[in-house]
Every structure is written in structure tokens, then in C-alpha cells.
Amino acid sequence: MIDVAIIGAGPVGLLLGNLLGQRGHSVTVLEKQPAPYPMPRAIHFDGETMRVFQATGMAQEILAHTHIGKGMLFKNAAGETLIDWSRAQDIGPMGWFESYRFYQPGLEAALRKGLSRFDDVVLHNGAEVAEITQTTDDTTLTLADGRTLKARYAIGCDGTGSVTRNSLGIGLHDLGFQERWLVADLLLTNPQVDPGDYSIQFCDPDAPATYVRGAGDWRRWEMRLREGEPDQPSDAAVWGKLTRWISPNDAKLERAAVYTFRSRIAMAWQQGRVFLAGDSAHQTPPFMGQGMCAGVRDAANLAWKLSAVLNGVDARLLASYQSEREPNARAFIEKTVALGRLINQTAAGHLPTGKMESLWPDLGSGLGPRDGIGGALVPQVRVNGQLADDAMQNGFYILAETDYPGSLPCVTGAIDWLRDKGVPGVIVRPDGYCLTGFADAADLAAKAQIAADLNAHLTKPLAADPATRQV
């Protein structure tokens, strides 16, 4: 019996495989498709997401498939900028740039290669899960070809039509947004017509649309469809919609697909020993580029908790997964839905104008207090030129104005952030969020024990094996 079975080898499933593999666990990733999907789907992630990718030890390999994003502009039908969501072009508080455009097939290839570093992590392509059953001690996954796999825990990372979620009979809360949009991915052949590095939301009541600058020469347009327009438009029809921006003389149409953008959250993210993560747990419209990011946050939260429980910590720790993650994911979905409705506004006079700042929602109730400090996302500083999470081996550590020797390692920095929070230091969790703040050394001593105990049950990251093996 293995430790964890992961259903689905998209970015979230592959990420979880790498995070758990680094902590020394036996993992099998099951992907029903025989080969990776060759086209981009997700196209944006933020600095927090890059911080999680950093934890896989594959940062440089992933960066090879990215482009630093400049941000997003909201424009009306006359071309006037209504909202400016520019992103800084220097390193942000997470230790990385604030916004990245990326090429999903390249990112997935890097994460797949990362799995090959670990002898106890295996990826099976063409392995479709047909049924999931469980006891109080384990889960059994039955494949479509009749084979079975036993695991202590299973995680469904199998997308919007999740077999895992459906097998468990878990319903979805509908948050009230559903629209059909045409998504067109193009490869630019004429740089003179490039719309530029900003994403643009065209707030046109007659034809709302989105332009996204992808990595390399990839460019994307998303256009809302009217009622009655077909689900499978011809290439000529697609080019007819694109003609106000670009023509077949300037780019090659690589893919056109109609999606129904929805806002939904699973009613339960855990049932016994089975969990949901990524799009199986929540579905976000694309207007903020936060759909995949939410799944990455799920993986970061769940991986260290599973590792601790697999190594002997009370399994009740896992009950904090949904209670912490759902409110955070919901905050992003609600903001995204609001922006989606803004794009569909009927007149420029009804639209807000100005500068939009980044959104960093706290976690919901769970480990530690929720007092504006506990549950907040903590900046990542550098320690002698090394990013703090790496220096602290992706475990719990103290971030403080001055050194606090004791049961946890300590780094100093982020003084402005700490002073804004009104504390001399905080305890940082493996997922980058704050466990709790503390007032002084005595207060820290009283609060550090839970983190020190958890650290003792987190397998230290393994050194990457330079040799690779086929999986």
C-alpha cells in the first residue's frame, strides 16, 4: 500500500506529487489521458504560486516557460483605460515577481520531470479511475481496466467534471456566474501587430472580450458568445470575431474552444480519507487569472498536513484543510465574478475607475488565531542570499525583527510588514501563511511548541537526484 494516490496529472496533481515526493512519501499519480494535452489552458500565475513552485525545487525549470506579466488594463469601447491593475516589474513580497504568464505544456513537462527524482513517486498515463471506496484505514481505487490500487489517502485533482467528487456524491454550491465564452489561442507571426504585454479587459457591452499576452509568441483572446451562437464555431467564424484586433496574416490559430465560465465550490473538500483539490473543489472564471493559482494554494496547504499525519500527527489536523482554504478561494471567486460583471457593464459611466491593488485574502478558521495576523500570507525574505523557505527547508520558522533562539529556526526581515501587523515576530507555516504572531520571547515560547512538534513530523526535503528515470 502506498501513502497517497493522486487522481489527475494536471498542474495541481503534478505539484502535489512533487511536494509529497520531496518529503519522502510514496505516491502514485493516475492520469486517464494517454499523453499530456499539447495546448495551453491556464496562462497566468502570481508570485505566491511561484513561491509554491519554488518549494518543489524546480523553480528554474518552471521559469523557463514563463514571461513576467505587466498587469491588466480595463478599457471601455472607446479604448479609454478605466482601471489600471499594473504589476510591479521588480521582485515582490513573495520573493518573486507579482505576475507571470506561462506556457502550460512546458510547466507540466517540468513538473513531470520533477517526479522522476523520487523512486517512490510514479506517474501512470492512460489510467482511468472508475470507482473509489474506503475504509477507516485506507482507500481503494479501481481503474477502468479492473486493476486496483490501495493508498492511505487519495486526492482528486481531476478537474471540473471530477470523477472523485462525483464518486463521493459531493454537490456544488453555485455562486451565480455562468456564461459561454470563446477562447482562441494564437501564435503570433507578425510582431508589428502585437497588442502588447498588458492583459486587456474590453468592457464593451456589445462584445465584451479579454486579451492575454502568453509566454513566447502565444496570444489569447476570450470573447463572450451571444445566445444561439454555436459551441463549435468554424475557423472563419473565429477569425471574424478576431478581426478587430488581428488577422490570419499576423498569427496562426492554434486552438479555438467554447467554455462555460462558472463560479462554483464543492460542498465538501474531504470525505474520510479522500480529498478534493483544484478545479474539482472550486471553479473560478478566468478574469483575474486565479483559477490554477487557487489549486496551487490547495496543494501547498494539503501537502504538509498530509505529510505530518502520514508521519504520526493526529489526523484531525486534516480537518483544517477545507476550513482554511474555502474562504480564501471564495474571496478570489467573488472578486473575479465582480470583475466579470464589470466587463459586461452597459455604459462607461457605470464603471469604476482608478488603480486596483493585489488581493491577498487570509485563510479561514483553522490552525492558530484569526486576528489579522494568524492566517495572513507572510512575505518571504532572503537569508544570506537564499530565499527563506529554502533556507528553512520548507518547515515552520520564525520571522522577526531580531533573532529569537529556541525550538524553531529564526530569520530576520520584513520589518515594515511586522510593524504594520503590530508584532515583533510571527511563526511562518510551510505554506507561507502565518501560524501566529507573538509579543515577546515568553509569548513565543508558549506558542512555538505546536510548530516545533509539527516540524519534527515533516520529512526534510530530499536532495534532487540529477539522474532521471522514465515513469
Residues 286 and 435 in one domain: no
**Residue 277 in domain:** yes
DSSP letters for 238-300: HHHHHTTT--TTTEEEEEEEEEEEEEEEES-SEETTEEE-GGGTEE--GGGS-HHHHHHHHHH
Express each pLDDT in 212-232 by its tens digit.
999 999 999 999 999 999 999
Residues 272 and 123 in one domain: yes
Express each pLDDT in 224-282 by its tens digit.
999 999 999 999 999 999 999 999 999 999 999 999 999 999 999 999 999 999 999 99
Please check the confidence at residue 337 and state whether its pLDDT lies above 60: yes
Q: Could you tell me the pLDDT band of residue 408, with boundaries at 50, 70 and 90? A: very high
**Residue 28 in domain:** yes
Residues 330 and 446 in one domain: no
The pLDDT score that the predictor gives to residue 342 is 80
Average pLDDT over residues 169-185: 95
Q: Could you tell me the pLDDT band of residue 25, with boundaries at 50, 70 and 90? A: very high
The pLDDT score that the predictor gives to residue 470 is 27
Average pLDDT over residues 310-338: 96
The pLDDT score that the predictor gives to residue 464 is 40
CB 48 within 8 Å of CB 297:
yes
Residues 313 and 418 in one domain: no
Q: Which helix (H) or strand (E) holds 30?
A: strand 27-31
Q: Could you tell me the pLDDT band of residue 338, with boundaries at 50, 70 and 90? A: confident
Alpha-carbon gap, residue 396 to 449, rounded angstroms:
11
Q: Residue 208: which of 241, 174, 186, 248 has the closest Cα?
A: 241
DSSP letters for 99-148: EEEE-HHHHHHHHHHHHTT-TTEEEEET--EEEEEE-SS-EEEEETTS-E
Chain-centre distance of CA 61, in angstroms?
Answer: 17
Express each pLDDT in 54-105 by its tens digit.
999 999 999 999 999 999 998 888 888 888 889 989 999 999 999 999 999 9
Average pLDDT over residues 427-433: 98
Chain-centre distance of CA 300, in angstroms?
Answer: 9
Q: What is the dihedral of CA 191, 195, 197, 198, to 10 degrees?
A: 180
Query: Cell digits for 440?
Result: 515577546
Q: What angle do CA 398, 52, 96 make, to 5 degrees?
A: 85
**Residue 374 in domain:** no
**Residue 300 in domain:** yes
Average pLDDT over residues 328-351: 78
Please check the confidence at residue 354 and state whether its pLDDT lies above 70: no
The pLDDT score that the predictor gives to residue 248 is 97
Residues 149 and 268 in one domain: yes
The pLDDT score that the predictor gives to residue 82 is 84
The pLDDT score that the predictor gives to residue 468 is 28
Average pLDDT, the chain: 93
Please check the confidence at residue 422 and state whether its pLDDT lies above 70: yes
Q: Which helix (H) or strand (E) holds 419?
A: helix 415-421
Please check the confidence at residue 462 and state whether its pLDDT lies above 80: no
Lowest-pLDDT range, 42-56, 347-361, 392-406?
347-361
Residues 387 and 330 in one domain: no
Alpha-carbon gap, residue 19 to 117, rounded angstroms:
12
**Residue 130 in domain:** yes
Average pLDDT over residues 323-327: 98
**Residue 211 in domain:** no
Q: Which helix (H) or strand (E) holds 168?
A: helix 163-168
Alpha-carbon gap, residue 185 to 288, rounded angstroms:
18
Alpha-carbon gap, residue 72 to 198, rounded angstroms:
5
Query: Cell digits for 452?
Result: 516545533
DSSP letters for 45-76: EEHHHHHHHHHTT-HHHHHTTEEE--EEEEEE
Q: Residue 200: which of 215, 222, 178 has the closest Cα?
A: 222
Residues 153 and 288 in one domain: yes
- Residues sharing a CB contact under 8 Å with residue 331, sequence separation 6 or more, in sequence order: 359, 361
Alpha-carbon gap, residue 417 to 177, rounded angstroms:
35
Q: Residue 123: which of 237, 245, 27 has the closest Cα?
A: 27
**Residue 302 in domain:** yes
Please state, as a whole number, how many other Cβ atoms lie within 10 Å of the Cβ of residue 421. 18
Q: Of 298, 316, 336, which marks where a domain is finished?
A: 336
Lowest-pLDDT range, 82-91, 295-304, 311-320?
82-91
Average pLDDT over residues 140-160: 97
Residues 296 and 154 in one domain: yes
Q: Residue 326: which of 362, 376, 373 has the closest Cα?
A: 362
Q: Could you tell me the pLDDT band of residue 345, with boundaries at 50, 70 and 90? A: low
CATH at residue 285: 3.50.50.60
Residues 292 and 430 in one domain: no
Residues 167 and 304 in one domain: yes
Query: Cell digits for 316?
Result: 484531525
Alpha-carbon gap, residue 316 to 346, rounded angstroms:
49
**Residue 274 in domain:** yes
Q: Which helix (H) or strand (E) holds 18?
A: helix 11-22
Average pLDDT over residues 393-409: 96
- Residues sharing a CB contact under 8 Å with residue 166, sequence separation 6 or more, in sequence order: none
Q: Residue 193: which of 109, 256, 250, 264 has the closest Cα?
A: 250
Residues 60 and 162 in one domain: yes
Domains contained in the chain, number: 2
What is the residue range of 448's domain?
382-456
Alpha-carbon gap, residue 389 to 51, rounded angstroms:
9
CB 340 within 8 Å of CB 179:
yes
- Residues sharing a CB contact under 8 Å with residue 372, sequence separation 6 or more, in sequence order: 362, 421
For the chain, the residue count is 471
